């Protein structure tokens, strides 16, 4: 029986460890571990890659969202976002003193539905579109709504490194774009790390102060800040990996194409790519009847799977104070009950994808 994990980071590490360890040795010799030149150079390179003017390295994707919300003065403001996402998107709104206003998602693309946003603009101040699974939200519609109603836009790009929406990189449409470099991401560190990109110099400088206890110069504090600094060891890893990101994203897209071809006509719904946009397939997630039974069958056959996300945020106990009930966001709930992520990473073998698809087909043949 084959063993195919949902994700295998070792092949990537094996390829890059010599370059990474070389950079780490240099850092150890300099004893410069927090911020410093390595971080500044990564920030310049990542901003250039994205097509933004500035990048601010931070300690995680969660801290990226938090300081973006803080820097854009979202206290007491209402923030619209999707309930079909990781909890960090919503919890940082509360950490910043904001109010959550969930909106349902588009059935085909799993991103926030602009038609759901429009009726609430008079009572909201900020939109956080989540570029879920590696695909951008409908940014033309979202930015039109934001521009016409003077709304701030913070893009949650935690799963969309290098994804493009009509020729522009994710994170460059709104006031800020927030990235996670958690190890499992398309661009992953060797621990926790994150980044915010923007094209406003004053906003970037404010976020740099906020990540370092509200200080630009040591022991001189102009804001109440946080300890959200990125360490240089992680920046060094990311500088090495950034050179390969486009190559890895293309490999993921090719793997997704093979999945789509082999699963066509089966009882699973394969992911769709928005016209004119690129999908970087941080996850390859299908929607299928009897999701849990299928996951069990695949696991019994050595295939790793994952469910992102089994409980939409509006039904999480921590957000019960918002007063939502089952049925409030039916598309998010439908996906939460039927979405299954299959193994996809740059180095996965085509034969492994064929094996996974064969077992999916086998499962439904046995069911019938």
| pLDDT tens digits, one per residue of 91-127 | 999 999 999 999 999 999 999 999 999 888 888 899 9
**Nearest residue to 307 via CA among 290, 295, 299, 321:** 295
Closest CA to 232 of 79, 58, 51, 32: 32
Q: Output the CA angle 230-233-234, nearest 5 degrees.
A: 55
Phi, psi of 135 (to 5 degrees): -125, 140
Two tokens at 187?
A: 């661009």
Which residue positions in the chain have pLDDT lower than 70? 1
Q: What is the pLDDT of residue 114?
A: 97
Q: Would you state the pLDDT for residue 121?
A: 86
Return the closest-CA partner of residue 194 out of 83, 53, 42.
42
- CATH architecture for residues 245-367: Alpha-Beta Complex (3.90)
Q: Quick check: 154 and 265 in contact, CB under 8 A?
A: no
Question: Which of these, 117, 69, 103, 137, lies nearest to 279 by C-alpha position?
Answer: 137
CATH of domain 10-242: 3.40.640.10
- Whether the upstream peptide bond of residue 309 has omega within 30° of 0, thus cis, is yes
Determine the Cα–Cα distance for residues 108 and 359; give it in Å rounded to an integer: 25
DSSP bridge pairs for 194: 58, 180
Tell me the C-alpha to C-alpha distance, in Å, between residue 337 and each of 113, 281, 293, 319, 343. Answer: 19, 20, 12, 19, 19
DSSP characters for 23-52?
HHHHHHHHT--BSHHHHHHHHHHHHHHHT-
Domain ranges in the chain are 10-242, 245-367
Rounded distance between C-alpha atoms, residue 282 and residue 288, angstroms? 19
CB crowding 315-332: b at 16 or more within 10 Å, else e: bbeebeebebeeebbebb
- The rounded distance, in Å, linking the Cα atoms of 18 and 45 is 21
Would you state the pLDDT for residue 16? 97
- Alpha carbons within 13 angstroms on the beta-carbon side of residue 361 total 14
Q: Which of 183, 188, 166 has its CA nearest to residue 277? A: 166
Q: Helix, strand or coil for residue 159?
A: coil
Angle subtended by helix axes 232-242 and 10-30, to nearest 10: 130
Equal CATH topology for 10-242 and 245-367: no
Does the pTM surpass 0.85? The reply is yes
User: What was the pLDDT predicted at 33?
Assistant: 79
CA distances from 39 to 55, 57, 168, 211 (A): 10, 7, 24, 13
Looking at residue 210, its pLDDT comes to 97
Neighbours of 150 (CB within 10 A): 8
pLDDT at 123: 81
Q: For the residues of 273-341, what is the DSSP string, one character each?
A: --TTEE---SSEEEE-TTHHHHHHHHHHTTB--B-S-SS-GGGSGGGGGG---TTSSHHHHHHHHHEEE
């Amino acid at each position: 029986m084959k063993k195919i994990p949902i994700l295998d980071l070792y092949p990537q590490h094996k390829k890059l460890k010599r370059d990474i360890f070389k950079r780490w040795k240099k850092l150890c010799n300099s004893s410069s571990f927090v911020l410093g030149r390595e971080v500044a150079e990564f920030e310049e390179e990542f901003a250039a890659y994205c097509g933004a003017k500035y990048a601010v390295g931070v300690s995680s994707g969660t801290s990226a969202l938090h300081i973006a919300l803080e820097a854009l003065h979202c206290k007491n403001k209402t923030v619209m976002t999707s309930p079909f996402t990781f909890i960090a998107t919503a919890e940082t709104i509360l950490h910043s003193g904001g109010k959550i206003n969930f909106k349902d998602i588009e059935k085909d693309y799993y991103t926030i539905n602009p038609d759901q946003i429009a009726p609430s603009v008079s009572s909201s101040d900020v939109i956080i579109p989540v570029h879920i699974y590696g695909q951008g939200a409908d940014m033309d519609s979202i930015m039109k709504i934001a521009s016409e109603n003077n709304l701030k836009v913070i893009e949650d790009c935690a799963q969309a490194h290098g994804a493009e929406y009509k020729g522009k990189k994710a994170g460059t449409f709104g006031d800020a774009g927030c990235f996670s470099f958690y190890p499992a991401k398309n661009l992953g560190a060797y621990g926790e790390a994150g980044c915010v990109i923007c094209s406003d110099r004053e906003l970037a400088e404010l976020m740099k102060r906020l990540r370092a206890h509200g200080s630009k110069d040591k022991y001189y504090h102009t804001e109440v800040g946080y300890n959200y600094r990125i360490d240089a060891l992680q920046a060094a890893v990311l500088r090495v990996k950034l050179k390969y990101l486009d190559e890895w994203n293309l490999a993921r897209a090719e793997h997704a194409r093979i999945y789509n071809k082999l699963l066509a006509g089966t009882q699973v719904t394969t992911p769709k790519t928005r016209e004119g946009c690129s999908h970087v397939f941080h996850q390859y997630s299908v929607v299928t009847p009897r999701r849990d039974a299928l996951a069990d069958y695949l696991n019994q056959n050595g295939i790793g799977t994952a469910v992102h996300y089994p409980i939409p945020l509006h039904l999480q106990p921590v957000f019960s104070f918002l007063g939502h009930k089952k049925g409030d966001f039916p598309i998010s709930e439908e996906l939460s009950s039927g979405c299954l992520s299959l193994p996809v990473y740059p180095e996965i073998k085509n034969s492994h994808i064929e094996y996974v698809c064969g077992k999916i087909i086998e499962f439904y043949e046995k069911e019938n």
